Amino acid sequence: MAKPRLHDDGFLRYLSTLPCCICGKEGETQACHVKIGHFGMAKKPDDKFCVGMCWRHHAEQHGMREAAFWHKYSLDPFAIAAQLYSEFGGTGGAPKIKRERKPRPKKAVRAKIASRGFDKTKTRKMNGRVEDRKI
């Protein structure tokens, strides 16, 4: 079984306070996960592999191959992420704990539907007369 993704919400909030690592623009920074070399279908890498980018560069990065994006700007995203994470003083993060949901008993659902006035017959008006029919 694959190890769970490590989350560090404090680091993601910290990234949003920094300027864009590409252009230096402040105030619009988003956390951008570096996915180069991360093999997993529809899975993000751990939060410690994030850099801060303005929304324009973040969108550009998503619009092209990630390796080509970083090559275009001649930057090493892993070095940037490691430096930012060490400045933040992160501990690596922790897996998110999923809440267990308690299933509701079916009787409660039926009672709730009945309390809303749900009826299995539908009334319709055709040619001036009212007609009830089963659905």
67 compared with 42, residue with greater pLDDT: 67
What DSSP line would sit under 48-112, residue for residue?
A: GGEEEEEHHHHHHHHTS-HHHHHHHTT--HHHHHHHHHHHHT----EEPPPPPPPPPPHHHHHHH
Nearest to 92 by CA among 8, 35, 10, 2: 8
Q: What is the mean pLDDT of the chain?
A: 80
Using the predicted structure, report yes or no on whether residue 125 has a pLDDT greater than 80.
no
Cα distance between residue 67 and residue 35, in whole Å: 9
Using the predicted structure, report yes or no on whether residue 55 has a pLDDT greater than 90.
yes
Model confidence over 101-123: pLDDT tens digits?
777 666 655 555 555 555 555 55
At 98, is the pLDDT very low, low, confident or very high (cuts 50, 70, 90)?
A: confident
pLDDT at res. 130:
59
The residue type of 28 is E
